[in-house]
Amino acid sequence: MTDQQWSMTNQYQEEVPVSPVGQYFNSSALCIYIIGVLEFQVPLDESQAIPLLQRLFLPINPRFSSIMVEDRSGDKRWKKVDVNLKDHINIPLFPEFNSVKSYDKYFADYLSRIALEKLPEKRPLWEIHIVNYPTSNAASSLIFKLHHALGDGYSLMGALLSCLQRADDPSLSLSFPSVKPSKSVNKSFFSKFSTILSLAYNTIEDFWWGIMKSSVTEDDETPIRSGFKGMETRPVTISTTEFSLEQIKLIKSRLGVTINDVITGIFFCGIRLYMQEINNESRVANCTALVLLNTRDVEGYQSVDDMLNAKARGPWGNHISFLHVPVPKLENGRISNPLEFVWEAHSIIKRKKQSLVVPLTGMLLDIERKIKGHEAVAKRIHGTLSRSSMVITNLIGPSQPMSLANYPVKGLYFTLAGGPESLVISIISYMGVLRVTLKTEKHFINEDKLSSCLKTALEMILKAAMEIPQQTRS
């Protein structure tokens, strides 16, 4: 153990406070988990689980060896405890099947089942599941279930990937696609004045709309939003599909927009196609996506060391906020020209960047926490989630192939569990592939049809983009 890790351990012996967001996510109103899956090309040696967790995972952060306790004032703190790793390791036994498809279904049912289960509060809030059975995507799988109170996706992805190495050269750090900031342009006085006015107007409008969406206004009930109260207890289905990052980059270069614009446009189009196919009237229903944002002051990361460096990315924890994004309606113009969804996504994202609604929302929640307490804020966040149609979240994954203790990783994906929404879309990149995970309300959303509609949207947008000159812009 390094001096820094030893110092952190001593600090946690004194019981450090749980962050406000951590308390929101572990309250009577909310209990949110992050589920990550690593897919391997070969079966795993189960006997290595405890040594690897002891050597690689536990030293990363004292929270993995701590439980939440409540003090006299009702605030929660992290208390260091002895960890019995056997309590955190699950090795399920599946029936013997003759086909991989049968294992696929059993694995999906198993993943859906553990998504609904709550972790015991009397031990550290994480567990792993070693599934040594083949599926269509892997020879074996390792499932991580971590409470969101431990940290956000950025923190936990850094923790997870710090246990892995580059498969081609373990001596080198994993690297990630760069995220380049847009170049600043010298503006005239009138241009700057116009920007300030737009910033003020957009902030007021977005802030007021966000308050209404969080407390009064609900999305329509549609094929992707059942409106069922108590969604947290409803069975879910977790499925994945893949997109080619090269195809998305090709659309990006043709249209002169960003990768995020293209991905968002594909989702907007695919979701509306699905809604239209299930119920034609719902193609113009009111529908909002709640986009989770990383609020750290970073431009991107290049290595796992950068991700875990507090100076580079801000302190460990939950540094996230949310943004309401209206899903464009499937009107006649957008049916004939699917690129309209990308242009609309580009316009919405650009406008949202010219707004201070994210920090303003954070200030409002903090004021409410100080006046009414954590439970009141947790209920407000629950209302925000339940009144929206879906949650969208994304992470950047490594560009090179990974391995865990010389076991090559074929793929990875993640999702959120425990929330009151009918649909969660999670995206992560790995070796030129975008892995899209759909967590859907079981027996309500047809995940296969939804996945098919998303792929159809990509094909439609790619075809339309290739039919225009490369220099064309919106």
Sketch out the chain's domains with CATH numbers.
Answer: 3-166 (3.30.559.10), 191-396+422-466 (3.30.559.30)
pLDDT band at 276; cut points 50, 70, 90: very high
Token pair 């990768």 is found at 259
Query: Rounded CA gap, 466 and 472, in Å?
Result: 11
Token reading at 341: 């969804």
Token pair 């992470």 is found at 395
Residue 302 has pLDDT above 80, yes or no: no
Segment 122-147 shows an average pLDDT of: 96
Segment 176-191 shows an average pLDDT of: 56
Q: What is the mean pLDDT of the chain?
A: 84
Lowest mean pLDDT among 67-81, 189-203, 207-221, 272-286: 189-203
Q: Among 56-60, 86-90, 199-203, 329-333, name the most confident range.
A: 86-90
Number of H helices, E strands in the chain: 15, 16
The pTM (predicted TM-score) of the whole model is 0.88
Residue 390 has pLDDT above 60, yes or no: yes
- The phi and psi torsions of 439 (rounded to 5 degrees) equal -105, 115
Q: How high is the pLDDT of residue 151?
A: 82
Nearest to 457 by CA among 325, 327, 291, 348: 327
3-state secondary structure 103-139: HHHHHHHHHHHHHHCCCCCCCCCEEEEEECCCCCCCC
Residue 331 has pLDDT above 80, yes or no: no
The sign of the dihedral angle between the CA atoms of 51, 56, 61, 64 is negative
Residue 142 has pLDDT above 70, yes or no: yes
Token reading at 185: 């342009």
Nearest to 337 by CA among 164, 196, 168, 465: 465
pLDDT band at 294; cut points 50, 70, 90: low
Q: Higher confidence at residue 283 or residue 94?
A: 94
Q: Cβ(150)–Cβ(126) under 8 Å?
A: yes
Q: How high is the pLDDT of residue 388?
A: 92
Q: How high is the pLDDT of residue 283?
A: 87
pLDDT > 90 in the chain, percent = 51
Nearest to 265 by CA among 329, 323, 343: 343
Lowest mean pLDDT among 53-57, 153-157, 455-459: 153-157
Question: Which 3 state secondary structure label does DSSP give 118?
Answer: coil
User: In the sheet where 165-166 sits, what is the strand order?
Assistant: 89-90, 126-131, 140-147, 33-40, 407-417, 402-404, 165-166
pLDDT > 70 in the chain, percent = 85
E strand map for 245-336: 288-294, 320-326
Segment 320-341 shows an average pLDDT of: 80
Which residues are bridge partners to 289 per DSSP?
A: 325, 390
Q: Cβ(352)–Cβ(209) under 8 Å?
A: no
The number of beta carbons lying within 10 Å of the beta carbon of residue 72 is: 5
The number of beta carbons lying within 10 Å of the beta carbon of residue 148 is: 25
Q: How far is CA 6 from the centre of its chain?
A: 31
Segment 197-214 shows an average pLDDT of: 76
Token reading at 358: 């994210």
Token reading at 126: 């994480």
Q: How far is CA 380 from the centre of its chain?
A: 20
